[in-house]
Amino acid sequence: MIDATLLPLVRRALDRPARSLVACGVGADQITVLGFLIGVLGVLALWMGLFWTALVCLALNRLADGLDGAVARLTQPTDRGAFLDIALDFMFYGLFPLGFALLDPATNALPAAVLICSFVGTGSSFLAFSIIAEKRGILSDAYPTKGIYYLGGLTEGTETIALFVAMCLFPAAFPWLAFTFAALCGITTLTRWLAGWRMLG
């Protein structure tokens, strides 16, 4: 919901470190893969109940997610890079709740399953629209530098990361947080279905 507002601020903040990485010969794809691996370490930390470690891994994962795009824009953005970025992002979003389910299956497995299912709804509607938008040459004014069309909604990247942070800070509230956010994702999915139906009609 607020990604488009925050994106220019994040881009300005990451410009200088991205230039330093480019000067050191670090590529965007390297940052993307490293960020994903750090995210996986965060999931393992959740499994072990190391919530502060998971929070640090989450922060580093998101930092890498911003830096890879900044580095790509300073060098040469590629379709492969855009594909890798979005594919690993979606995988990380699904893995993070799994960490809580592995930690305490009796309490967290059902809420995690519902949340991951809701991510399938938001993710599939997002990606399906972007594929057809690309085919028709539809561009997004809100995200002109993104590799694919970004169809907004109530729950976007910023809200999802805020949820993960809250889960790390208040792990006992995981079921309530998961069910609540899943309901919001359901609304996002429905609004995207409606937007797709209207825009692609």
Domain count for the chain, please give it.
1
pLDDT lower than 50: segments of the chain:
143
pLDDT at 180 (0 to 100): 97
pLDDT at 139: 62
We report the CATH number of the domain holding residue 68 as 1.20.120.1760
Amino acid identity, residue 50?
L
How much is the pLDDT for 129?
84
DSSP state of 145: T
The reported pTM is 0.86
Q: What is the pLDDT of residue 4?
A: 61
pLDDT of residue 118: 96
Rg (CA), the chain: 17
Residue 190's nearest CA partner among 154, 140, 160, 150 is 154
Residue 127: predicted pLDDT: 87
For residue 156, what are the domain limits?
3-199
pLDDT of residue 79: 85
User: Is 111:174 a contact under the CB 8 Å cutoff?
Assistant: yes
3-class secondary structure per residue, 27-80:
CHHHHHHHHHHHHHHHHHHHHCCCHHHHHHHHHHHHHHHHHHHHHHHHCCCCHH
Q: Among candidates 142, 186, 65, which has minimal Cα distance to 57?
A: 65
- State how far the Cα of 186 lies from the Cα of 32, in Å rounded to an integer: 28
Q: Which of 120, 9, 28, 142 is nearest to 76 (CA)?
A: 28
Alpha-carbon distance of 181 to 176, in angstroms, equals 9
